[in-house]
């Protein structure tokens, strides 16, 4: 049983490239020629294929070419090829046994291809990540990426990718000792590879299946599978792995007394060992050949070949002993160096003791001097104390007088501010009372007329216009009360912004849905031309209120059949959101008055108090934002507000605002 396990381990060392289906060198020569004759994207694709051709032949060369391809892809701004180059780099580093760098580039390729929705590349990268994690013993991560790759390949109907996923998941189930599941998935992988008639994939699947049978002790099935694999073997190159494969296949035949078949494979292994001058292959060959002669009862030949095997093993052990002697010599040299360092440390300790003694002596002298100076200072301080007390009393009297004067001035300023606030309040309440009375009066009179005048006869069109007018009055009253409540809470400082990363698109769509009915009544086309999703750093409710006010104002001042567009402009640190209408527009003096509480009736006689824009300005200020207005009479208006894309300190915000050309002096 131990021998079988040894055979399994050595067979696992055989790389999948032993089953290559075409001559790689001829393909590389052809690609090298194409790279010199092409340019642009075609040259980049040839570069990538050339780097892939060097994976098994010369991994460092493959890494170099993949790096060049990645640089070229970034220079030409070819994102898909850049993702592919990162994937190829990860594969090349994996083959070169540099697992850390392999994972770095594969994870970069995974994120980049996923971000750009390159499904095919993303699936291949996920599968390669599953292979690397499996070889590192991180089986659960391997299975997670394998499943993700399987889902994508299934979506793309990529049978080759599905076959590879099934084989890898079969190996995962074997690692979890779930042999029935493992065999099922390995069979699926082989069946799929045969369906698409891919020789390389069939060889890989057969190799995985043979490994499974060998590990589970089913030698007959292992031989059957490996014999089938041989029929797909088209690579005439001789290397260590091929030699080891031939020798181990010979051992499997020996265990089932198929001696002549075993001898054939052992001789093939010997030819490769002789070409490579490999002591390990020679040792395995003569060891297995000794078993062959033993099975044939040729004991003298068995002894002779066994002695040769032992001779090669002794050579290998001698090489190991030589390495051990070298290692001992290095250790002895290191030990001698440590003794020298210890002596130096002792000398340094003696010097440090002497330095410390001198330091203590110097410190004692310094302390004595400091004590004397301190005594002199105490006497000097006592002499100054009396004069300082008198000077302090005079200073406190002057300071008290200044504080009283400052408090008087502050009280006067507070009184003036209170008067201004009362005037603003009186004006605001007057405006609110006027607008509420008008809107509520319209609703009341209209409903009274409908309820009391029994002989009232109106057409369907007049009914729609009449109800539309009532809807405008009710909507204006509702908007006024909403803004008034928000303004009152803001003035009482009860609103504290909850700043967080928010999806701007969701705020825009929410407002479009909220105000769509209002725009439909005036037959106004309300839409957004924003396509790219972007996050902003703000209080969602405050920015929602600002955008709602801007759109409501645009609807008020846009004629029937007009258009209102919501547009965004993404900058490096800020995002600007514009509400653009083709309504009646404003004169310059009207633009200057919008922050002073002056209002204008809408195109359908909609009312407003002016409190909305004042509230918008306060809300934007709390979100490190601002707004500006541009307008032209009879052509329309554009209200634009700007908010940060990410958190900013006050200092950074001030610096960036100076660089923004669109900053409005109206908000200073």
Q: What is the pLDDT of residue 421?
A: 53
Lowest mean pLDDT across 137-141, 482-486, 536-540, 600-604 = 600-604
Q: Which residue has the tokens 């393909």?
A: 27
C-alpha torsion 356→358→362→364, nearest 10:
70
Considering the chain, what percentage of its residues have pLDDT values greater than 90?
26
Q: What is the CA radius of gyration of the chain?
A: 43
pLDDT tens, position by position, 558-590: 999 999 999 999 999 999 999 999 999 998 888
**Cα separation of 229 and 202, whole Å?**
8
The answer, yes or no, to whether residue 535 has pLDDT greater than 70, is yes
Buried b (16+ CB within 10 A) or exposed e, 231-249: ebeebeebbbbbbbbbbbb
Among 51-60, 327-336, 475-484, the range with the most confident prediction by mean pLDDT is 51-60
In this prediction, residue 534 has a pLDDT band, given cuts at 50, 70 and 90, of: very high
Lowest mean pLDDT across 316-325, 392-401, 522-531, 659-668 = 659-668
Q: What is the pLDDT of residue 568?
A: 94
Helical packing angle, 460-491 and 611-622, nearest 10°: 40
Considering the chain, what percentage of its residues have pLDDT values greater than 70?
73
The answer, yes or no, to whether residue 492 has pLDDT greater than 50, is no
Buried b (16+ CB within 10 A) or exposed e, 487-517: beebeeeebebebeebebbebbeebbeebee
Average pLDDT (521-547) is: 90
The answer, yes or no, to whether residue 592 has pLDDT greater than 90, is no
Q: What is the pLDDT of residue 431?
A: 47
The rounded mean pLDDT for the chain is: 78
Residue 497 Rama label (left phi>0; alpha psi -120 to 50; beta): beta
In this prediction, residue 223 has a pLDDT band, given cuts at 50, 70 and 90, of: confident
Contact between 147 and 162 under an 8 Å Cβ cutoff? The reply is no
The class (CATH top level) of 2-237 is mainly alpha
Smallest CA-to-CA distance from 545 within 617, 439, 608, 642 is with 617
Q: What is the pLDDT of residue 631?
A: 93
Contact between 15 and 211 under an 8 Å Cβ cutoff? The reply is no
In this prediction, residue 331 has a pLDDT band, given cuts at 50, 70 and 90, of: very low
The answer, yes or no, to whether residue 518 has pLDDT greater than 70, is yes
**Cα separation of 421 and 498, whole Å?**
28
pLDDT tens, position by position, 420-453: 656 655 555 554 554 555 456 556 656 666 666 6
The answer, yes or no, to whether residue 298 has pLDDT greater than 80, is yes
Give the residue with greater pLDDT, 470 vs 118: 118
CATH 1.25.40.10 positions along the chain are 2-237
Q: Collapsing DSSP states into helix, strand and coil, what is residue 567?
A: strand
DSSP per residue, 340-352:
HHHHHHHHHHHHH
pLDDT tens, position by position, 48-96: 888 888 776 678 888 888 888 898 888 888 899 899 999 999 998 988 8
Q: What is the pLDDT of residue 118?
A: 92
Lowest mean pLDDT across 79-88, 302-311, 477-486, 634-643 = 477-486
Give the 3-state DSSP-derived string for 62-111, with helices as H, strands as E and coil as C.
Answer: HHHHHHHHHHHHHHHCCHHHHHHHHHHHHHHHHHCCCHHHHHHHHHHHHH
Q: What is the pLDDT of residue 76?
A: 84
Average pLDDT (373-387) is: 85
Contact between 7 and 256 under an 8 Å Cβ cutoff? The reply is no
Which two three-digit tokens encode residue 287?
A: 């060891």
CA distances from 211 to 205, 220, 246 (A): 10, 12, 15
Q: What is the pLDDT of residue 41?
A: 80
* Strand 525-528 versus strand 563-570 pairing type: parallel
Average pLDDT (617-626) is: 90
- Report phi then psi at 606, rounded to 5: -70, 145
Average pLDDT (172-184) is: 90
Domain 498-667 is found in CATH 3.40.50.720:
no
Other Cβ atoms within 10 Å of 286 Cβ, number:
22
Average pLDDT (338-350) is: 78
Average pLDDT (281-285) is: 85
**Cα separation of 617 and 339, whole Å?**
77
In this prediction, residue 413 has a pLDDT band, given cuts at 50, 70 and 90, of: confident
The answer, yes or no, to whether residue 21 has pLDDT greater than 50, is no
CA distances from 324 to 312, 313, 327, 328, 329 (A): 18, 16, 5, 6, 9
Q: What is the pTM of this model?
A: 0.41
Smallest CA-to-CA distance from 468 within 355, 617, 605 is with 605
Lowest mean pLDDT across 184-188, 243-247, 325-329, 385-389 = 325-329
In this prediction, residue 334 has a pLDDT band, given cuts at 50, 70 and 90, of: very low
Contact between 619 and 570 under an 8 Å Cβ cutoff? The reply is no
How far does CA 495 lie from the centroid of its chain? 34
Q: What is the pLDDT of residue 635?
A: 92
Q: What is the pLDDT of residue 19?
A: 37
Q: What is the pLDDT of residue 609?
A: 41
Contact between 80 and 118 under an 8 Å Cβ cutoff? The reply is yes
Greatest C-alpha distance within the chain: 131
Q: What is the pLDDT of residue 149?
A: 93
CATH 3.30.565.10 positions along the chain are 498-667
Contact between 82 and 70 under an 8 Å Cβ cutoff? The reply is yes
pLDDT tens, position by position, 99-156: 888 999 999 999 999 999 999 999 999 999 999 999 899 999 999 999 999 999 999 9
């Amino acid at each position: 049983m131990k021998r079988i396990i040894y055979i399994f381990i050595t067979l696992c060392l055989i790389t999948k490239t032993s089953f290559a289906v075409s001559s790689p060198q001829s393909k590389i020569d052809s690609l090298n020629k194409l790279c010199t004759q092409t340019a642009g994207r075609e040259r980049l694709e040839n570069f990538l294929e050339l780097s892939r051709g060097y994976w098994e032949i010369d991994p460092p060369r493959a890494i170099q070419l993949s790096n060049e391809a990645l640089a070229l892809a970034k220079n030409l701004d070819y994102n898909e090829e850049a993702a592919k180059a990162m994937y190829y780099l990860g594969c090349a580093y994996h083959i070169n046994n540099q697992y850390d760098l392999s994972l770095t580039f594969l994870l970069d390729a995974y994120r980049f291809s996923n971000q750009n929705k390159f499904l095919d590349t993303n699936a291949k990268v996920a599968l390669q990540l599953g292979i690397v994690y499996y070889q590192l013993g991180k089986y659960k991560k391997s299975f997670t990426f394998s499943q993700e790759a399987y889902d994508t390949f299934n979506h793309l109907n990529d049978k080759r990718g599905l076959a590879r996923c099934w084989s890898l998941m079969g190996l995962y189930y074997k690692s979890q000792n779930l042999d029935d599941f493992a065999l099922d998935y390995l069979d699926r992988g082989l069946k799929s590879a045969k369906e698409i008639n891919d020789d390389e994939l069939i060889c890989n699947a057969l190799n995985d299946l043979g490994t499974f049978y060998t590990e589970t002790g089913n030698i007959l099935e292992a031989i059957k599978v490996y014999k089938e694999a041989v029929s797909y073997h088209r690579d005439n190159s001789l290397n260590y792995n091929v030699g080891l494969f031939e020798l181990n296949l010979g051992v499997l035949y020996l265990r089932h007394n198929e001696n002549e078949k075993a001898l054939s494979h052992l001789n093939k292994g010997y030819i490769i060992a002789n070409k490579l001058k490999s002591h390990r292959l020679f040792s395995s060959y003569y060891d297995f050949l000794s078993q062959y002669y033993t099975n044939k009862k040729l004991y003298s030949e068995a002894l002779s070949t066994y002695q040769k095997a032992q001779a090669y093993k002794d050579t290998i052990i001698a090489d190991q002993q030589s390495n051990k002697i070298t290692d001992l010599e290095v250790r002895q040299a290191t030990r001698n160096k440590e003794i020298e360092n210890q002596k130096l440390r002792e000398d340094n300790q003696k010097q440090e003791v002497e330095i410390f003694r001198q330091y203590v002596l110097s410190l004692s002298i310094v302390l004595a001097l400091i004590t004397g100076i301190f005594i002199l200072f105490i006497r000097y301080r006592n002499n100054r104390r009396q004069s300082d007390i008198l000077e302090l009393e005079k200073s406190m009297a002057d300071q008290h007088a200044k504080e009283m004067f400052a408090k008087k001035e502050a009280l006067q300023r507070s009184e003036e501010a209170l008067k201004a606030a009362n005037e603003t309040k009186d004006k605001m309440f007057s405006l609110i009372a006027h607008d509420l009375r008008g809107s509520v009066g319209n609703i009341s009179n209209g409903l009274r007329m409908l309820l009391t005048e029994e002989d009232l006869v109106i057409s369907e069109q007049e009914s729609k216009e009449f109800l539309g007018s009532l809807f405008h009055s009710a909507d204006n009253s509702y908007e006024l009360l909403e803004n008034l409540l928000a303004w009152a809470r803001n003035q009482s400082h009860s609103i504290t912004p909850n700043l967080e990363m928010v999806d701007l698109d969701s705020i825009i769509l929410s407002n479009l849905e909220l105000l769509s009915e209002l725009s439909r009544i005036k037959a106004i086309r309300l839409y957004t031309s924003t396509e790219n999703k972007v996050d902003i750093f703000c209080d969602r409710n405050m920015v929602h209120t600002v955008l709602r006010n801007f759109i409501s104002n645009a609807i008020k001042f846009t004629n029937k059949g007009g258009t209102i567009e919501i547009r965004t402009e993404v900058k490096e640190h800020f995002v600007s959101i514009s509400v653009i209408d083709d309504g009646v527009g404003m004169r310059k003096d009207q633009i200057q008055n919008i922050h002073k509480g002056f209002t204008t009736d809408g195109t359908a006689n909609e009312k407003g108090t002016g409190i909305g824009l004042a509230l918008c300005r306060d809300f934007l200020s709390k979100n490190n934002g601002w707004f500006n207005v541009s307008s032209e009479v009879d052509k329309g208006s554009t209200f634009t507000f700007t908010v940060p894309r990410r958190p900013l300190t006050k200092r950074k915000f001030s610096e960036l605002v100076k660089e923004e050309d669109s900053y409005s002096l109206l908000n200073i």
